[in-house]
Amino acid sequence: MALFFDQAWFDAELAQRHLTRETLGAMLGLGAVEIAEVWKDQRELKAADVAVIAALLNVPPEMVAGRAGISTPVPKAAPARDDLEARLVAIEAKLDAILKKLG
């Protein structure tokens, strides 16, 4: 369980952007009961949740994780676009080789 979820900070950040807990819950795929559990420190956020909240609030993921509790994970940085393109080229080459062997 995450400890020390900063309800006031999250509520203020949402209000500043004219958003609600329900909006945040919808973005995370959580219902009203589940988002209430997050606010009461009864449900931990996952790294993917932290990334979504950070994007929604336009703040660094580290800030969200820090305000969400001491055990909240920080998402890993996304690979650079060049890295993704290189991986895609390598995957396509492997797929082509497999298809040639099968066909």
Q: 30-60 pLDDT, tens per residue? A: 999 999 999 998 999 999 999 999 999 999 9
Indicate the DSSP class of residue 71: T
Q: Is residue 47 part of a domain?
A: yes
pLDDT for 60 equals 93
Q: Is residue 71 part of a domain?
A: yes
pLDDT at residue 11 tops 70: yes
Q: Is residue 2 part of a domain?
A: no
Which of 8, 36, 41, 6 is closest to 24 using CA atoms? Answer: 36
Domain limits for position 25: 7-75
Q: pTM above the 0.85 mark?
A: no
Q: Are 85 and 48 in contact (CB under 8 A)?
A: no
CA distance 7 to 70: 14
Which of 72, 74, 67 is closest to 1 using CA atoms? Answer: 72
pLDDT for 76 equals 82
Q: Are 22 and 68 in contact (CB under 8 A)?
A: no
How would you class 44 by CB atoms within 10 Å of its CB: exposed for 0-12, middle for 13-18, buried for 19 or more?
middle
CATH number for the domain spanning 42: value is 1.10.260.40
Q: Is residue 62 part of a domain?
A: yes
Q: 55-103 pLDDT, tens per residue? A: 999 999 999 999 998 778 888 876 666 677 778 888 888 888 788 888 7
CA distance 67 to 18: 20
